[in-house]
Amino acid sequence: MKKLLNAAWSGIALSAAVFVVTSMLIGFAHGEAQFASGSSMARMCVAVLVIGLGFGVPSLIYETELPTGLKVLIHMGTGVIVMLATSLVIGWIDFSRGWKVCLLYAALQIAVAFILWLLTCVRTKKDAEDMNKRIEDKK
């Protein structure tokens, strides 16, 4: 249960950080007209929580003995499906803007998700190498 809560919290924290940075960039670029308030902002915060859980909880798959490619497919596939579905429901991807814009927004979201995944993999690999080096140094 502790691993599940840690995975969920990690996903939520990363999702919230991406939301805050994205909101800052949109605010600087487009001003106050782009910001939600009241119940609209509350819905967006719920969306951030859902997306965080969509990526965080499936990350537990990496603790199994499945092949790495299948682990990535399950983790990122689940996360991307949850993210895109949530984006459609909340209106971040809005078909009234045209299908090309929707595809662009979806592609940007997927690209950010995979960049963050790659950065996490690099950090995890470096941490493992550091731990292995410390173990070797103690021998």
**pLDDT of 51:** 96
Domain count, the chain: 1
**Are 46 and 92 in contact, with CB atoms under 8 Å apart?**
no
**Are 19 and 48 in contact, with CB atoms under 8 Å apart?**
yes
Asked if the model's pLDDT at residue 42 lies above 90, the reply is no
Tell me which long-range contacts 43-48 makes (C-beta under 8 A, separation of at least 24).
43/90, 44/19, 44/90, 47/86, 47/87, 47/89, 47/90, 47/92, 48/12, 48/15, 48/16, 48/19
> Alpha carbon 16 to chain centroid distance?
9
Count of CB atoms situated within 10 Å of the CB of 81: 12
Asked if the model's pLDDT at residue 38 lies above 80, the reply is no
Residue bearing tokens 């662009």: 104
Average pLDDT, the chain: 91
User: Which residue segment(s) compose the domain that 114 sits in?
Assistant: 2-138
**pLDDT of 37:** 72
- Tell me which DSSP letter residue 91 carries: T
Model confidence, pTM = 0.82
Asked if the model's pLDDT at residue 36 lies above 80, the reply is no
What is the rounded average pLDDT of the residues 85-98?
91
Torsion of CA 17, 20, 21, 27, to 10 degrees: 180
**Are 79 and 88 in contact, with CB atoms under 8 Å apart?**
no
Asked if the model's pLDDT at residue 68 lies above 80, the reply is yes
Give the CA diameter of the chain: 64
Per-residue pLDDT band for 34 (boundaries 50, 70, 90) equals: low
